[in-house]
Amino acid sequence: MKVLVNDKISPKGIEILEEAGYDLTQKHHDTDELMDVLSDYDGIILRSATTIGEDLIDASADNLKVIARAGTGLDNIDVDYAESKGIDVLNTPGANSASVSELVFAHLFALARYLPQANLTMREGEWNKSDYRGIELAGKTLGIVGLGKIGQITAEMALNFDMDVLGYDVADIDTDLDVDMVEKEELLQNSDFVSLHIPASDEAFIGEEELDMMSEDAYLVNCARGGVVDEDALLDALNNDDIAGAGIDVWEEEPTNNDELVNNEKVSVTPHIGAATYEAQDRVGIQIAEKLIDALEN
């Protein structure tokens, strides 16, 4: 079996594939190059840096058996079309959930205690102790949009910090956690912090209308997918004091060119590092290797 590792995965995942006797090629190809080479492979492992649409599927469907996404989101793969051609599409839901949830709380603490501002001004020689009176998370309400694996781990962390938790999901969620499931509008209106854990879609989930529902003292955190939040609407809300601040890990365009939002004094920003821990990447690499082997062997 020939497998193309188009985007890097953990060495532990590579080791599993090599021990299984697969012929591995570890090299990144852009879309044009993939059109010429992908049909030579039985499987491909990719991450967010590679997009596979109808044209590429058509060009490789005679031989390609498995598309394996080393991560959770599948928005860069035309899943329905691939499966219609008999190609299995795999991912690793849950492997990076704890890491993403911890980053959510890194942003929550950064926003609540003015960490980005304090870091910047201290490095410029300022001592603005009286300017940075923050708030405690305990006793505040966290609204979680999307109660999948990451959302539920985030909820559990919030409850451990003595926060109240509101939840909203389009699916019927069954959980033993002390989460009050409400409608979207109620969550936005009654949350001190809102954390998003939903896939990307054609339209932003949070736009001008949704931001208007939030309190002027509320904070928004997006560690989900770029495009879930309308960045122009968010910037306007921040500049007009319609919300207190935002934590942003994912962007409409990556790398982002939205310098005005990145440099806004009310935001905590990171460059899409939600899953960027050694532990998460080892879990992702191991799981996707094992799933790929199972799919190809069966």
Instruction: Select which of 136, 254, 260, 265 is catalytic.
Output: 254
Mean pLDDT of 77-104: 96
Model pTM? 0.90
Digit-coded pLDDT (tens) for 25-41: 999 999 999 999 999 99
What pLDDT score does 48 carry?
87
**Does the pLDDT value for residue 231 go beyond 90?**
yes
**Does the pLDDT value for residue 72 go beyond 90?**
no
CA–CA separation, 120 and 131 (whole Å): 13
**Alpha carbon distances (Å) from 20 to 29, 82, 88, 288, 297:** 24, 25, 19, 13, 10
| Beta-carbon contacts of residue 190 (< 8 Å; ≥ 6 apart) | 141, 143, 166, 182
Give the closest residue to 150 by CA, choosing from 87, 95, 69: 95
Instruction: Select which of 210, 225, 231, 283 is catalytic.
Output: 225
Structural domains of the chain ordered from first start: 2-95+277-297 (3.40.50.720), 97-269 (3.40.50.720)
Instruction: For the chain, give the percent of residues with pLDDT over 90.
Output: 95
- Following CA atoms 55, 56, 60, 66 in sequence, which dihedral angle do they give, to the nearest 10 degrees? -130
Mean pLDDT of 74-84: 95
**107 in active site:** no
CA–CA separation, 110 and 93 (whole Å): 27
**272 in active site:** yes
Give the closest residue to 97 by CA, choosing from 155, 150, 151: 150
Digit-coded pLDDT (tens) for 165-219: 999 999 999 899 999 999 999 999 999 999 999 998 889 999 999 999 999 999 9
The length of the chain is: 298
Question: pLDDT band for position 8 (50/70/90)?
Answer: very high
Alpha helix ranges (H) inside 124-258? 149-160, 184-190, 208-213, 231-239
CA–CA separation, 70 and 50 (whole Å): 11
DSSP state of 77: B
Instruction: Select which of 28, 29, 113, 272 is catalytic.
Output: 272
What pLDDT score does 235 carry?
98
Mean pLDDT of 230-240: 98
**133 in active site:** no
What pLDDT score does 73 carry?
83
What pLDDT score does 15 carry?
98
Angle at 213 between CA 212 and CA 214, to 5 degrees: 90
Digit-coded pLDDT (tens) for 121-151: 999 999 999 999 999 999 999 999 999 999 9
| Beta-carbon contacts of residue 236 (< 8 Å; ≥ 6 apart) | 208, 242
What pLDDT score does 174 carry?
87
> For the chain, what is the mean pLDDT?
97
